Amino acid sequence: MLLQFNHYDIKATQIMSHWPKHPTNPYKGYVGHPLLVKFGHHQTIFPDAFAPFLKQYDSRIVDGTGTSLNQLEKFIDKGQPAIIYHTSLGSKPLRRVFHFDNQPTKLVSNIHVTLLIGYDDDYYYYIDPLWSRLSKFVIFPSIIPNSKQIIKIKKHTLENSYNAPGKKCIYIDN
């Protein structure tokens, strides 16, 4: 979504079919299959592996891990969204031990990757590729892209949700 926002004609499925892969370690590549659940594995790709891959499309891509949401607001003010890693729909972080290259590693397991697109005094707004929100209590899987994929979340809720897995993000530095 970040590349599409910046007028790159590339589909997410094309990115997913070519990104680096790894059998167990998301710091080195995507673990699992993007459309199937791989139980017992941390099924994601962290910025450490994802940002260098994305640089082939735009050299301004930055692994912004450690950047606060407040700092990301400056990029939004310039009209630039950011990929963020946070707990799914702002839920409480669930921690568990994964084995990356046979090394036990305790991490937040319920992370999700979305595109932070806006904010106001009280809320952040992000595009969720998997979920659509009809109302405060009605959320359903997104079968096709739709306007309900823009999620509004209290600032303090997203801050906790984003900080828990380690403030992981990717952005384009203009």
pLDDT tens-digit series, residues 18-39:
999 999 999 999 998 877 777 7
Note the CATH number of domain 2-119+162-172: 3.90.70.10
Q: 24 phi and psi, to 5 degrees?
A: -140, -20
Mean pLDDT for the stretch of residues 56-73: 98
User: Quick one: pLDDT at residue 59?
Assistant: 97
Rounded CA-CA distance 55/32 in Å is: 22
Q: Which residues pair with 103 in a beta bridge?
A: 100
User: Quick one: pLDDT at residue 11?
Assistant: 87
Assess whether pLDDT exceeds 80 at residue 144.
no
pLDDT tens-digit series, residues 71-95:
999 999 999 999 999 999 899 999 9
User: Please, which pLDDT band fits residue 148 given cuts at 50, 70 and 90?
Assistant: confident
Mean pLDDT for the stretch of residues 51-65: 97
User: Quick one: pLDDT at residue 36?
Assistant: 73
User: Quick one: pLDDT at residue 35?
Assistant: 72
Mean pLDDT of the chain: 91
> HEC profile for the chain?
CHHHHCCCCCCHHHHHHHCCECCCCCCCCECCECCECCCCCCCCCCHHHHHHHHCCCCCCEEECCCCCHHHHHHHHHCCCCEEEEEEHHHCCCCEEEEEECCEEEEEECCEEEEEEEEECCCEEEEECCCEEECCCCCEEECCCCCHHHEEEEEHHHHHHHHHCCCCCEEEECC
Distance of CA 105 to the CA centre of its chain: 20
User: Quick one: pLDDT at residue 140?
Assistant: 62
User: Please, which pLDDT band fits residue 98 given cuts at 50, 70 and 90?
Assistant: very high
pLDDT tens-digit series, residues 1-23:
899 989 999 988 899 999 999 99
Asked if 46 contacts 169 with a C-beta cutoff of 8 angstroms, the reply is no
Annotated domain spans of the chain: 2-119+162-172
Mean pLDDT for the stretch of residues 142-170: 89
